[in-house]
Structure 1
Amino acid sequence: MTEAPTTQVVDRLLDAAQILLARKGIRATTVSEVAEEAGVSRAWLYRHFPDKSTLLGAAIVRLSDSYWNDARAELDTLDTFTDQLVAGVRIGRRTYDDPGALPLRLRMTEPEEFAACAGAGVSGLVPDLASFWLPYVRAASERGEIHAGHDLTEVAEWVARVLITLGTIPGETLDADDPAAILRHMRRFVLPGLRNDPLGES
């Protein structure tokens, strides 16, 4: 029997891990199930991944990279920070439908298991999202959409917290699935605060 190329086997294993993570989560997924889903033996799996944490961590990292790259590609087509924020809410609302957003779900539903697999360095949702938004915050500042006196790193973290809230916590006065409502919300409440002098001198 001819052995499949290493990259092909790894891709099959990561694809299988992704399917099972989406279906069962981290805790309930076993190495044996991943091997069976991928159509390889456990011994063959262990040639590439020494344990469950390494295997599922690799799948999570691959999914995370895909998710952030797709989100960046979408935001990069938009010209204003306001439009990017509205799109950010929409992207966040897709978290439970988009396979690429699976790491975000796992991070919220199984935080300890997620940290063990993906590593504590990538387990912080707010810091990750703030880092993602920081280049867009800087560009908005350069275009004059954000007051120059703001600490842009602080703004990026605040944006991350706002978007997480809008994307995950339902409310009574704002329909987070209505782009027009989100746009009004950004224009009324979010952007005015970012345009003002943070020291109250303007």
Structure 2
Amino acid sequence: MTEAPTATVVDRLLHAAQKLLATKGIRATTVSEVAEEAGVSRAWLYRHFPDKTTLLGAAIIRLTDTFWTYARAELDAIDTFGEQLAAGVRIGRGAYDDPGALVIRLRTEEPEEFALCTDAAVAGLIPDLASFWRPYVETAVARGEVHPGHDLAQVSEWVARVLISLGTIHGDTIDPDDRVAVLSHVRRYILPGLTADPGTA
């Protein structure tokens, strides 16, 4: 078996892992199958991933990263911070509530294995999501939609926490799948706190 150049091995392994995850799931996917699908030896695979959990965790994280790349492209086309936040709720719900999505299927059908593979990623969910939103917060400051006196790191984390709450925790007063209702909630309750001078609070 001819080994691939190192620069392409990781991509090939992750692509192979994602393909097998889609057809077989976490438990049934083996390291040998991933190596064979990628066209490399098991020894070559182990140069890059020490075990199955690390390999499949990296594949799942890459699926999530791909999702956020598309999310970024969508948010970049929206002109106001309030509408971006409302879209963020919808996009987030699409990532976690669509049963047809591979990540969700794996999470639903093999929760223990999924948690094991993505433990590190889940632990960093809030910081990662805050980092994702930070450039949008900075742009909102430049447009005058967020008061420049706010600590932008804190605003970014607060936005991450609020959007996770809106997107995943059901309540009696807002339907997170109703775009108009979410946008109204954002404009009425979230944006006023961000536009206010924090020094007067």
Relative to structure 1, is the Cα distance of residues 47 and 99 closer, same or farther in structure 2, using a 3 angstrom cutoff?
farther
Identity of aligned residues (%): 54
- Shift of the alpha carbon at 1:141? 0.8
Q: 2: CA distance between counterparts of 1:192 and 1:114?
A: 36
- In structure 2, the partner of 1:58 is 58
- The CA deviation at 1:159 is 0.4
Number of the residue aligned with 1:31? 30
List runs of 5+ in structure 1 lacking aligned partners: none
Question: Partners of 1:179 and 1:121 in 2: how far apart?
Answer: 29
Runs of 4+ in 1 over 6 A off after TM superposition: 6-10
How many residue pairs match? The answer is 190
Q: How far does residue 62 in structure 1 lie from its aligned partner after superposition?
A: 2.4
In structure 2, the gaps of 5 or more residues are none
Task: Report the Cα distance in structure 2 between the residues aligned to 1:158 and 1:75, rounded to whole angstroms.
Answer: 18
Once the two structures are superposed, residues 83-135 of structure 1 have per-residue CA deviations (whole angstroms, 9 ceiling, x without a partner) of: 11011001011013374765x959xx5444313xxxx4774110000000000
Contact 2:16–2:37 (8 Å) recurs in 1: no
| Deviation larger for 144-153 or 13-22 | 13-22
Q: Distance in 2 between matches of 1:140 and 1:19?
A: 39
Q: Deviations over 1:166-199 (max 9, x none)?
A: 1111111111001001011001101011111123
Q: Which amino acid aligns with 1:192?
A: P
| Alignment of 1:89 onto 2:53 | no
- The aligned counterpart of 1:76 is 76
Deviation at 1:45, TM superposition (A): 5.1
Matches within 5 A, 1:7-22: 13-21=13-21
Q: CA deviation at 1:40?
A: 2.7
The residue aligned with 1:173 is 173
- Trace 1:152-191 onto structure 2 (pairs within 5 A): 152-191=152-191
Shift of 1:64: 3.0
| Whole-angstrom distance in 1 between the partners of 2:143 and 2:10 | 44
